[in-house]
């Protein structure tokens, strides 16, 4: 039952995507510019990756619109994926040279530290404590926390109505903490957002909370049952995770993101992914200085 619904949801999205792709004859993901003549000072991480022609990037596989892998496909799709391809292209690496590794919220730091992945683009909110053990370049995107509720829910008018309600989010995410502290909701942790959405649909929890961008992806999958509600009440700057201390790499990442914003590739990446879920196009953020 439980898996059935999920698979059906995934299938529906898959079918929708296939239709869209046919409609625009080719799709948005494929045509990334790969620099043939990319060269970097010897000894830098960028030179190493450029030499190898390969890179391992940690992304989410379960967040529609951001990082989502359809069952039966090899490559994930979403905004994080597009930005990752832009970066790889700047490094002179073909999209085929990217190894996509699934990361979940709890294993991003160890994956970077152990070298399981080279970079992390996985709705990875920048915060000071994380920055003491891993590097976080960017932000390349800023969203904010909202609520996903049943379409026919009448109890929700403003964010304050969430008081005392059962609100689901992923174990270890900062979203659960903020909703408890700010609105006095009862936090319910689960292993993934899709599990939370299942609990919401079965009526076991009243709402799901996390970054608005993620919720819109789920709402778009199931517009008859779910909707996103409320004002954004936090600021979530998404950063690019890398091994702590590599300042040159950080400067390269920030420069690449800045360039993509300036030449419109950032906006195109957004329009092709999150933009499809009716999210108003946001103002691109300015990157923090590298430490």
Partner 1 sequence: MDALIENLPRILRGFLLTLQLFGAAGLIAFALGAVLAGMRVAPVPVLRAVGTTYVNIFRNTPLVVLFIVFVAGLPFLGVQISFFARAVVTLSLYTAAFMCEAIRSGINSVQQGQAEAARSIGFTFGQTLRSVILPQAIRTAIPPLASIFIALVKNSAIAEAFGVIEATQTFHFLYNRHPSALWPLFVGTALGYVIIVFVLAGIASRLEKRLAVIR
Identity of the residue, 94 or 180, whose beta carbon is nearer to partner 1 in the bound complex: 180
Question: Could you say whether residue 198 binds partner 1 (CB under 8 A)?
Answer: yes
The one-character DSSP state at 96 is G
Nearest Cα to 194, choosing from 61, 38, 48, 42? 61
The footprint of partner 1 on this chain (CB under 8 A) covers a number of residues equal to: 27
Identity of the residue, 176 or 277, whose beta carbon is nearer to partner 1 in the bound complex: 176
Question: Could you say whether residue 74 binds partner 1 (CB under 8 A)?
Answer: no
Q: Cα–Cα–Cα angle for 79, 261, 259, nearest 5°? A: 115
Nearest Cα to 168, choosing from 137, 135, 201, 134? 201
Could you tell me the smallest distance in angstroms from the CB atom of residue 20 to partner 1? 32
Identity of the residue, 161 or 206, whose beta carbon is nearer to partner 1 in the bound complex: 206
Question: Could you say whether residue 109 binds partner 1 (CB under 8 A)?
Answer: yes
Report the residue from 203, 224, 280, 283 that binds partner 1 according to the rule CB under 8 A. 203
Could you tell me the smallest distance in angstroms from the CB atom of residue 203 to partner 1? 6
Could you tell me the smallest distance in angstroms from the CB atom of residue 272 to partner 1? 31
Any idea of the CA torsion for 134, 139, 145, 151, to the nearest 10 degrees? -120
Bond into 139 cis (ω within 30): yes
Query: Locate tokens 């004859």: which residue?
Result: 25
Print the binding letters for residues 135-174 with partner 1: x by CB under 8 A, - otherwise: ---------------------------------x--xxxx
Which residues between 114 and 133 bind partner 1 (CB under 8 A)?
A: 129-130, 132-133
Question: Could you say whether residue 102 binds partner 1 (CB under 8 A)?
Answer: no
Question: Could you say whether residue 202 binds partner 1 (CB under 8 A)?
Answer: yes
Tokens of 209: 């909370």
Residue 34 to residues 31, 180, 257: CA-CA distances in angstroms? Answer: 9, 45, 15
Q: Strand 145-150 relative to strand 186-190: parallel, antiparallel, unpaired?
A: unpaired
Question: Could you say whether residue 291 binds partner 1 (CB under 8 A)?
Answer: no
Identity of the residue, 86 or 119, whose beta carbon is nearer to partner 1 in the bound complex: 119
Around Cβ 228, how many Cβ atoms within 10 Å? 21
Question: Could you say whether residue 177 binds partner 1 (CB under 8 A)?
Answer: yes
Tokens of 22: 């046919």
Q: Helices H, strands E: what count in the chain? A: 10, 12
Footprint of partner 1 (CB under 8 A): 1-2, 105-106, 109, 129-130, 132-133, 168, 171-174, 176-177, 187-191, 198-199, 202-205
């Amino acid at each position: 039952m439980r898996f059935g619904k999920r698979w059906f949801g995934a299938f529906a999205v898959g079918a929708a995507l296939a239709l869209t792709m046919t409609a625009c004859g080719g799709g948005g993901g494929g045509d990334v510019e790969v620099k043939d003549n990319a060269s970097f000072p010897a000894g830098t991480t960028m030179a190493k990756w450029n030499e190898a022609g390969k890179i391992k990037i940690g992304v989410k596989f379960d967040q529609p619109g951001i990082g989502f892998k359809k069952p039966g496909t090899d490559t994930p799709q979403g905004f994080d994926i597009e930005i990752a391809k832009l970066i790889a292209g700047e490094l002179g690496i073909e999209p085929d040279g990217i190894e996509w590794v699934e990361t979940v919220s709890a294993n991003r730091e160890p994956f970077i530290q152990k070298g399981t992945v080279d970079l992390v683009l996985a709705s990875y909110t920048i915060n000071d404590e994380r920055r003491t053990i891993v590097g976080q370049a960017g932000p390349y995107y800023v969203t904010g926390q909202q609520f996903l509720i049943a379409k026919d829910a009448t109890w929700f008018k403003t964010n304050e109505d969430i008081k005392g309600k059962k609100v689901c989010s992923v174990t270890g995410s900062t979203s659960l903490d903020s909703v408890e502290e700010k609105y006095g909701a009862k936090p319910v942790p689960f292993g993934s957002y899709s599990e939370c959405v299942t609990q919401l649909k079965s009526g076991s929890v009243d709402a799901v909370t996390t970054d608005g961008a993620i919720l819109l992806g789920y709402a778009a999958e199931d517009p008859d049952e779910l909707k996103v509600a409320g004002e954004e009440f936090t600021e979530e700057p998404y950063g690019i995770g890398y091994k702590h201390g590599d300042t040159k790499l950080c400067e390269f990442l920030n420069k690449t993101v800045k360039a993509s914003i300036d030449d419109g590739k950032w906006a195109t990446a957004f329009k092709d992914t999150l933009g499809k879920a009716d999210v108003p196009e946001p103002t691109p953020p300015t990157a923090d200085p590298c430490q």
